């Protein structure tokens, strides 16, 4: 393919991707599947990799991330991001209205009302139509530059194509994690034995400050734009909102212009219950004077504008009877206590169950069976018990004693030091753990055997046909015909799905086998670093710590998994079944011989590269990459947080230690200092 051919295809792909992106976020419609969209993006990334000179800063490929940010630079806001005064009282809203009327000397005015979203404030700076900077609110005067992470949010335009847009302007918005994404993320965390995140707002905030923008992209954050600054042609806040919509920003359609304070109160009442059906959490309403010149005249206090106020809804809480506590066993053996409640209506739904988190929370609440407890939804999506109505406690209530044995297999529970949860250690004999591991194994992000489902797994387990993932590959047509509702066609579909899963790449297989704390991202990092399951299984604790994303907890978990004889037998069975247990290395195309006959060991974390990228660069330029330091090594490429033992050994053996910058100089033919 020529450069011109590539340029033409890149332009066509960019137009298609932007079209479908706009269709999804602006018109809430789709014309292609997620898979088809991902294939367009994958093709674009491939072309930009092959022809890097054709890649632009506003390419849709920026959405997938990949930039590693070690430190977030501090940026001063051109316009301070002041906090709003807030109230829970309708009477105080009327008093605010009186102050506005007085400040404008009786001049007519109107309000613009918007829902107050429970997310993270962001400032987006555009120059000559391109997004150049994304900055967090910080202390209101200065914030952190999180541009690389902001670019992964697909609803934020990377480029404004309207030629009438001003050369420089700023957009304020609220970054949030949709409810569905948050719930899926928590399911995945439970799946690998991690604690659930508390709420979507804090999770969005933490995600926006992650160092690896590729992980941020996977979190599927969204952003509602709500304020335009720097466009001199805009005279009202309403005009600014319409301008943002015209420029294809994602604006919540829930706003309303109100002629007076009574209409504001009506708007607040309208959304008090209906907001529960929105895709994100809201905690109130922002009320602004609409005309910008009137905003200027009203001015600011030291902390907040006089022309705006936030009305906050009180957290919806109800009291109901705690009838009992049940205990659920997850795939990793973690025990989750659940409050079984007298059914009660809360935030638009009937609530029968609520989370109690762990034994510590039950003790903190001093729960008794028969208590009347307060239940809230708040920002947690799943209802939770927040307190006990002690005024209603009677002598007939019974203090809760946390179970000490598994409710499924009666095994004595254990508690790992430093963790709040209790665990059932009967990994290979506890039915929910076994079925949970198989369900995890077949899921889309793992082996993707979509012809199987949880009900089928339960039947297979109950008939003693499948007691581990490896058993799936021994199933026969006659086995499946024993299941309720299975005919020959459906049975063959399952067998075909199982057979096709053998082509699933190693990184997905590694995630599927279900090592505790090893989620999808960590599995991919481990697969790329160790290349095969045999090398991973043989890696020592210290060697595991050298891998990207691996800390002490993960390293210990991986080591314990592969030290278990039953797991070793399971892995051998999966290998014999024909699963992919090593990375298919792509052929390295030699670009130069500038590093010929030179050997390198790479250790630590780098500012501009992943370790796999450094390895590929070395190989493309004729060098060799080794795994251990020895006297024959030419260079140790040292990044941040490099293991001290490697540095000490290199210094003792007289090996040249070079930094990331010195490595780049080496590529240019310059010799590093010795």
Dihedral sign from CA coordinates of 176, 182, 184, 187: positive
Residue 385 near residue 375 (C-beta atoms within 8 A): yes
Look at residue 80 in the predicted model and tell me its pLDDT.
86
Burial of residue 149 (number of CB atoms within 10 Å: 0-12, 13-18, 19+): buried
| 123 falls within a domain | yes
CATH number at residue 514: 1.10.150.20
Rg of the chain on CA atoms, in Å: 29
b/e 562-597 (16+ beta carbons within 10 angstroms → b): beeeebeebbebbbebebbbbeeeeeeeeeeeebee
> CA-based angle 361:365:366, to the nearest 5?
115
Is 100 found in the same domain as 40? no
Q: Catalytic residues, which ones?
A: 116
What domain range is 529 assigned to? 506-577
Q: Cα dist. 341→315, 371, 394 in Å?
A: 19, 10, 17
Is 335 found in the same domain as 200? no
DSSP per-residue codes, 68-91: B-SSPPEEE-SS--PPPPEES-HH
Look at residue 614 in the predicted model and tell me its pLDDT.
86
pLDDT along the chain (674 residues), means of 10: 88 87 70 76 84 82 68 87 87 95 94 93 93 90 90 91 90 92 84 78 89 85 94 91 94 95 95 85 92 93 87 85 94 91 82 89 93 79 84 92 95 87 92 94 89 90 94 95 91 93 93 92 89 95 88 93 95 96 73 86 80 83 82 86 79 90 84 66
Specify the number of domains making up the chain.
Answer: 6
Give the separation between CA 357 and CA 385, rounded to whole angstroms: 9
Is 101 found in the same domain as 28? no
- Final residue of a domain: which of 478, 503, 528? 503
| 464 falls within a domain | yes
Question: What is the DSSP-derived secondary structure letter of residue 273?
Answer: H
| Token pair 């709500």 in the structure block, residue | 226
74: its two tokens: 């501090």
Give the separation between CA 641 and CA 247, rounded to whole angstroms: 44
Residue 147 near residue 89 (C-beta atoms within 8 A): no
- Final residue of a domain: which of 482, 503, 524? 503
| 652 falls within a domain | yes
Is 303 found in the same domain as 193? yes
- Element holding 268 (H helix, E strand): helix 261-274
DSSP per-residue codes, 303-324: SSBTTEEEEEPPPPEEEEEEEE
Give the separation between CA 671 and CA 37, rounded to whole angstroms: 46
Look at residue 462 in the predicted model and tell me its pLDDT.
93
| 590 falls within a domain | no
| 408 falls within a domain | yes
Q: Cα dist. 273→199, 278, 279 in Å?
A: 20, 10, 14
CA nearest to 113, candidates 293, 282, 234, 298: 282
Is 324 found in the same domain as 304? no
Q: Which long-range contacts (CB under 8 A, 24 or more apart) does 416-419 make?
A: none
Look at residue 161 in the predicted model and tell me its pLDDT.
87
Give the separation between CA 167 and CA 151, rounded to whole angstroms: 20
Is 402 found in the same domain as 340? yes
**Which residues 6+ apart lie within 8 Å of 136 measured at CB?**
120, 121, 122, 123, 143, 144, 146, 208, 209
pTM for this one?
0.65
């Amino acid at each position: 393919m020529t450069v011109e051919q590539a340029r033409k295809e890149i332009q066509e792909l960019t137009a298609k991707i932007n079209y479908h992106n706009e269709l999804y976020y602006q018109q809430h419609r789709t014309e292609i599947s997620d898979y088809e969209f991902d294939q367009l993006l994958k093709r674009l990334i491939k072309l930009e990799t092959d022809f890097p000179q054709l890649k632009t800063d506003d390419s849709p490929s920026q959405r997938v991330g990949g930039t590693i940010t070690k430190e977030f630079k501090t940026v001063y806001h051109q316009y301070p991001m002041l906090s709003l005064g807030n109230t829970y009282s309708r009477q105080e809203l009327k008093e605010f209205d009186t102050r506005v009327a007085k400040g404008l000397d009786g001049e007519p005015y109107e309000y613009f009302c918007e829902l107050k979203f429970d997310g993270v404030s962001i400032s987006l700076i555009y120059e000559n139509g391109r997004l150049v900077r994304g900055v967090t609110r910080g202390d209101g005067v200065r914030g952190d530059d999180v541009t690389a992470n902001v670019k992964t949010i697909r609803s934020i335009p990377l480029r404004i194509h309207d030629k009438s847009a001003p050369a420089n302007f700023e957009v304020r918005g609220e970054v949030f994690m949709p409810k569905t994404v948050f719930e899926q993320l928590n399911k995945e965390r439970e799946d690998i034995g991690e604690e659930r995140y508390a709420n979507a707002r804090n999770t969005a905030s933490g995600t926006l400050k992650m160092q690896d923008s590729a992980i941020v992209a996977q979190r599927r954050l969204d952003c509602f734009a709500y304020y335009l600054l720097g466009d001199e042609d805009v005279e009202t806040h309403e005009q600014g909102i319409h301008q943002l919509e015209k420029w294809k920003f994602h604006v919540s359609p829930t706003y309303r212009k109100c002629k007076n304070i009574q209409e504001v109160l009506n708007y607040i009442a309208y959304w008090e219950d209906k907001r529960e059906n929105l895709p994100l959490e809201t905690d109130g309403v922002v009320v602004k004077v609409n005309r910008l010149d009137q905003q200027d005249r009203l001015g600011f206090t030291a902390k907040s504008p006089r022309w705006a106020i936030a009305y906050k809804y009180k957290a919806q809480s109800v009291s109901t009877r705690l009838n009992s506590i049940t205990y659920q066993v997850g795939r990793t053996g973690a025990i989750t206590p659940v409050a079984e409640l007298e059914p009660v209506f809360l935030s638009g739904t009937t609530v029968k169950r609520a989370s109690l988190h762990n034994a510590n929370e039950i003790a903190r609440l001093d729960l008794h069976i028969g208590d009347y407890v307060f239940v809230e939804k708040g920002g947690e999506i799943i209802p939770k018990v927040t307190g006990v109505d002690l005024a209603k406690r009677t002598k007939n209530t019974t203090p809760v004693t946390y179970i000490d044995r598994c409710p499924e297999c009666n095994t004595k529970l254990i508690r790992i030091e430093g963790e709040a949860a209790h665990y059932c250690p009967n990994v290979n004999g506890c039915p929910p753990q076994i079925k949970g591991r198989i369900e995890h194994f077949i899921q889309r992000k793992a082996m993707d055997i979509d012809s199987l489902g949880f009900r089928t797994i339960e039947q297979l387990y109950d008939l003693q046909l499948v007691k581990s993932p490896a058993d799936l590959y021994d199933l026969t047509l006659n086995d499946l015909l024993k299941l309720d509702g299975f005919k020959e066609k459906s049975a063959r579909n399952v067998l075909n799905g199982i057979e096709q899963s053998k082509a699933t790449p190693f990184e997905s297989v590694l995630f599927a086998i279900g090592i505790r704390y090893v989620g999808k991202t960590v599995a991919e990092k481990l697969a790329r670093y160790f290349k095969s399951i045999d090398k991973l299984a043989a890696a020592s604790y210290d060697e595991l710590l050298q891998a990207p994303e691996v800390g002490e907890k993960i390293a210990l978990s991986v080591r314990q998994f592969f030290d278990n004889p039953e797991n070793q037998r399971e892995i051998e069975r999966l290998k014999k079944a024909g699963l992919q247990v090593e990375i298919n290395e792509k052929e390295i195309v030699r670009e130069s011989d500038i590093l010929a006959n030179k050997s390198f060991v790479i250790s630590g974390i780098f500012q501009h590269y992943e370790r796999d990228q450094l390895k590929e660069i070395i190989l493309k330029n004729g060098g060799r990459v080794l795994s251990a330091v020895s006297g024959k090594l030419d260079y140790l490429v040292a990044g941040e947080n490099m293991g001290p033992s490697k540095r000490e050994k290199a210094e003792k053996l007289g090996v040249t230690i070079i930094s990331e910058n010195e490595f780049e100089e080496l590529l240019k033919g310059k010799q590093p200092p010795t």
